[in-house]
Amino acid sequence: DTKKTNNFNSQTDRRTARLQCQTETKNSDRGDEGPDPSVDPALSSLLQPKTTGLDNAGKTTILKKFNGEDVDTISPTLGFNIKTLEHRGFKLNIWDVGGQKSLRSYWRNYFESTDGLIWVVDSADRQRMQDCQRELQSLLVEERLAGATLLIFANKQDLPGALSCNAIQEALELDSIRSHHWRIQGCSAVTGEDLLPGIDWLLDDISSRVFTAD
């Protein structure tokens, strides 16, 4: 089950657009393809998503897989790593922030100039779903994350017993979020399945805000 849900909620725009589908997602207020990054080459320097979530969720694996790197051997992230990727003409400086419990109190130190937050969930870790919900909700009230686009990757959908996107959406109480544009995307970091639709949506949403601001 790799259902995808769009929920566009913000303090300035109270309209809500939700769409669930298997293969494609359309944004309610703009076309399917999103803005052309060639219009403003300087835009690339503004895209700085941060990736976090609980430990062992698959954050580093997702970034390595998306970048075409080997994912057979992954070590836990201690502190943070910065990975620079290029996609659709955009340059992404993605911060991979460690999720160990001892590091979570320091998360807020990494959120300066954050355009988007990629929150990675271990869909097979049912026992820590409440912990995951609590940590995510506490992050969303951080002033430095105000207005940042939120992409939730429901990772490890390839594992037996993985929760569906709908179940995770309910467990994380995503429908209560009114301060951020968000989307939940089922994926597998190991196989690479459905990583691209999530990243594409993230880019479209961030760039639409930047173009609108300009």
Residue 72 lies in a domain: yes
Q: Which residue has the higher pLDDT, 183 or 12?
A: 183
d(CA 138, CA 203): 24
Write out the binding residues for GTP: 53-60, 99, 155-158
Interior angle at CA 129, CA 122 and CA 19, nearest 5: 75
Structural contact between residues 162 and 3, judged by C-beta atoms closer than 8 angstroms: no
**Phi, psi torsion values for 39, nearest 5 degrees:** -65, -35
Catalytic residues: 100
Render pLDDT for 23-81 as a digit per residue (tens, 0 to 9).
223 232 333 343 344 434 444 445 777 778 888 888 888 888 888 888 787 666 656 66
Joined tokens for residue 191 = 């196989």
Residue 53 lies in a domain: yes
- Among 72-76, 88-92, 182-186, 197-201, the range scoring the smallest mean pLDDT is 72-76
DSSP label of 32 = S
Kindly report the CATH number assigned to the domain that includes residue 144: 3.40.50.300
Write out the binding residues for Mg(2+): 60, 77
Q: Based on the structure, what is the number of domains in the chain? A: 1
pLDDT of res. 172: 97
Write out the binding residues: 53-60, 77, 99, 155-158
Question: Which of these, 98, 94, 101, 126, lies nearest to 195 by C-alpha position?
Answer: 94
| Amino acid found at 18 | R
DSSP label of 11 = S
pLDDT of res. 22: 26
Residue 108 lies in a domain: yes
| Amino acid found at 154 | A
Residue 187 lies in a domain: yes
User: In the predicted model, is pLDDT for residue 192 greater than 80?
Assistant: yes
Residue 24 lies in a domain: no
Which pLDDT band holds residue 83 (cuts at 50, 70, 90)? Answer: confident
d(CA 121, CA 187): 10
Render pLDDT for 93-139 as a digit per residue (tens, 0 to 9).
776 666 556 555 555 665 666 788 899 999 999 999 999 999 899 88
Residue 33 lies in a domain: no
How many C-beta atoms lie closer than 10 Å to residue 12's C-beta? Answer: 5
Question: Which of these, 115, 45, 38, lies nearest to 84 by C-alpha position?
Answer: 45
Render pLDDT for 1-14 as a digit per residue (tens, 0 to 9).
444 444 443 333 32
Which residue segment(s) compose the domain that 203 sits in?
4-9+44-213
pTM of structure: 0.74
Residue 21 lies in a domain: no
Residue 162 lies in a domain: yes
